[in-house]
Structure 1
């Protein structure tokens, strides 16, 4: 294995969290998901964990129509808070990679580490809305009727985060080392065995 780190960025509902756990077991690397990094950021900064969770919820509750603009005026927030949060996540991510080889998911890890740490940059996506909804229900505990709106909110939350803190176009194939459609290789929405093998062979 030539690369010591893997960063997973994903389209919500693509099963990236499941994939990260499968990779962790297969490669013997620690996996840090979104919640793990949130807890680390809260522990190592002066920002309360509830503030970080409320920020996620506030962003995720917004669904934009085509005419909406992604800008700071959309949210009723302390103007400095988003930057404090990004700084807290950045610090947590750097501290995590210093602890040793690992797999990181989301929280802008690809933004933070780009040009500073050599990592395999993977983007996971899916074209099957039914599987997105199934994963949303079974992994996140969201009711089926609420899943489409929840998924849309998560998509916009992540787009907003990237637009705020980088010039990276989230989801653009040329930004990543490997883009993988999880539904092409695994028929079961919760199975990531083939995708795991593809990423393993890319290290």
Structure 2
């Protein structure tokens, strides 16, 4: 694998973070989750982490037309610069933050979308991995899904979750009995490299 980049985009609760971490261990390459990318983007751009976190919240609470376009450009540029820097450093796995939009057109990355058909497993993952209570999980899933969709809308005309935008689309529940066991999903992605 020479300078191979894997980008994970996901439906919340599909287990993409688990896939990314396990794939990172299997391939012995770095994994950068959403929070990792936020922290790096803040540090490297000079933007305060609180600004980036507030931007995420605004995506849920505000209409896109009321968002500060200068701030949107700054946020996208911060993530773009960070993602390009990580990609230039060598093979890695990037999760969310528009990495598939930013790297679109490059030939050296594999774009993977994970989704789930089992709402019980989605909620279980939110509880067991995200530390969300069972009562909070449905609202949290809805809020995060809206935030991710609006993030895409603010930077591109790509329809998030549209299958023809990705190289591989995995319904993680087809390959798992235990909601946290992503072994088969990891094997499928690794076999495609």
Q: Normalising TM by the smaller chain, what interval?
A: over 0.9
**1:163 aligns to 2:153 (yes or no):** yes
Q: CA deviation at 1:168?
A: 1.1
Q: Mean alpha-carbon deviation: is it higher for 44-53 or for 18-27?
A: 44-53
CA separation of 1:45/1:117 partners in 2, compared to 1, >3 Å: closer, same or farther?
A: farther
Q: Which residue of 1 aligns with 2:119?
A: 129
Give the count of matched residue pairs: 193
Structure 1 residues 1-203: aligned runs within 5 Å: 1=1, 4-60=4-60, 71-73=64-66, 77-116=67-106, 118-203=108-193
SS of residue in 1 equivalent to 2:129: helix
Give, in whole Å, the separation in 2 of the partners of 1:123 and 1:142.
23
Give, in whole Å, the separation in 1 of the partners of 2:149 and 2:176.
26
Give, in whole Å, the separation in 2 of the partners of 1:181 and 1:85.
30
Q: CA deviation at 1:160?
A: 0.6
Give, in whole Å, the separation in 2 of the partners of 1:61 and 1:145.
21
**Per-residue CA shift, 1:41-70, capped at 9, x if unaligned?**
0001121011111222333467xxxxxxx6
Q: Is the 8 A contact 1:11 1:126 kept in 2?
A: yes
CA separation of 1:117/1:44 partners in 2, compared to 1, >3 Å: closer, same or farther?
A: farther
Give, in whole Å, the separation in 1 of the partners of 2:60 and 2:154.
15
SS of residue in 2 equivalent to 1:9: strand
Give, in whole Å, the separation in 1 of the partners of 2:60 and 2:181.
26
How does the TM-score come out when normalised to structure 1? 0.90
Give, in whole Å, the separation in 1 of the partners of 2:118 and 2:77.
34
CA separation of 1:125/1:3 partners in 2, compared to 1, >3 Å: closer, same or farther?
A: farther
Gaps of 5+ in 1: 63-69
Gaps of 5+ in 2: none
**Per-residue CA shift, 1:19-78, capped at 9, x if unaligned?**
00000011111000001100110001121011111222333467xxxxxxx6323xxx53
